Amino acid sequence: MKLLVTGGAGYIGSHVVRAAEAAGHSCVVVDNLSTGLVARISSPIVELELASADAPELLAKLMKQHRFDSVIHLAARKQVGESVQKPEEYFLENLGGLANLLLAMREAQLMSLVFSSSAATYGMPDVDKVSEDYPGVPINPYGQTKLIGEMMVRNAAVWGLKGVNLRYFNVAGAGSADLADTAALNLIPIAINAVKSGKAPVVFGTDYPTPDGSCIRDYVHVEDLALAHLAAVDYLAEDAQEFSTFNVGTGIGASVIEVLDALKIASGIDFEVAIGERRPGDPPRLVADVSRIEKTLGFRTKHDLAAIVQSAWDAS
């Protein structure tokens, strides 16, 4: 298939592009290169600001020229803390960009879209495993843009769009060093940076109602996540409903302390760990119910926590 991948020069996007090409698809990337790196991919890149006024026309032209089978839309700002400080930028870029993309798709009659959503749409769920039907309420502007983005994809069914929303849980790891997450905004890259500079990684709270007191998350390998996009594209090409939403996680939770233990093994360094205060807004536990994606797309992750952490360490 021929795929348009927005944000394809980013950490997750470049893994999607590489997996797509390995599966025999061809990709054209649209990216504003704000955090994306040209060196990560060999596909053609169109440098474009999706939220700009001329984006719908430029995108529609590109779509008509290439006759894509599907669009995978990852381009977005993704820092929760920054979204609290600059909510307008998040709404403008994440939702303005998506609106422009949908306008172009409608114009070009391109009817298949995979949308990069997030477990941030759930807010603070108080369940063991969160399913897609959980009535979550996002607690920050970033999560709000993802939930509203899902609604925009659903609304587009009126002109014939088929859409899949993928709600990513905690994405980590790397397929190779050149695709690594360079931003160090999440636990695993932050902890790796700390260890490499001889500092103690900090656990944000050990007084949560979890077995070891630290927060539990569902860490998913970025290479597994990339393959979930290809499963979604195949599904859209076959028997998809108009609109569906899938969690992408492993269904297995790991605490911050367990992640740091895995990093001790991966790095071979018995580093010190510091205990810090709770970080505001952290749910104690956020683990995916993955039964829907397993049943509907036949998708299962292959990498466990040890493999995720090892790949992140090896790529660092």
Kindly list the residues in this chain that would bind ligand WQD in the complex (CB under 6 A).
Answer: 78, 80, 118, 120, 168, 170, 186-187, 190, 202-204, 215, 217, 256, 279, 282
In our burial notation (b when 16+ CB lie closer than 10 A, e otherwise), range 220-234 reads bbbbbbbbbbbbbbb
Angle in degrees, 0-180, between the axes of helices 11-22 and 222-237, rounded to the nearest 10 = 60
Give the nearest distance from C-beta 309 to ligand WQD in angstroms: 13
Give the nearest distance from C-beta 109 to ligand WQD in angstroms: 30
Give the nearest distance from C-beta 171 to ligand WQD in angstroms: 7
Active site residues: 142
What whole-number distance in Å separates Cα of residue 40 and Cα of residue 307? 22
Q: Which residue's CB is nearer to ligand WQD, number 76 or number 230?
A: 76
Q: Which residue's CB is nearer to ligand WQD, number 9 or number 172?
A: 172
What whole-number distance in Å separates Cα of residue 314 and Cα of residue 132? 33
Give the nearest distance from C-beta 230 to ligand WQD in angstroms: 20
Could you tell me which residues come within 8 angstroms of residue 63 by beta carbon, excluding any fewer than 6 positions away?
4, 104, 105, 107, 108, 110
Give the nearest distance from C-beta 65 to ligand WQD in angstroms: 31
Q: Which residue's CB is nearer to ligand WQD, number 80 or number 252?
A: 80
Q: Which residue's CB is nearer to ligand WQD, number 256 or number 315?
A: 256
Indicate left, alpha or beta for 19 from its phi (over 0: left) and psi (-120 to 50: alpha). alpha
Whether 146 and 138 have beta carbons less than 8 Å apart is answered as yes
Radius of gyration of the chain (CA): 19
Whether 81 and 122 have beta carbons less than 8 Å apart is answered as no
Torsion of CA 143, 7, 168, 301, to 10 degrees: 180
Give the nearest distance from C-beta 69 to ligand WQD in angstroms: 26
Query: Which amino acid does the sequence have at 78?
Result: K
What phi, psi does 225 have (nearest 5°)? -60, -40
Q: Residue 97: which of 62, 59, 69, 133 has the closest Cα?
A: 59
CA distances from 129 to 102, 116, 148 (A): 32, 20, 23
Q: Which residue's CB is nearer to ligand WQD, number 3 or number 287?
A: 287
Q: Which residue's CB is nearer to ligand WQD, number 46 or number 284?
A: 284
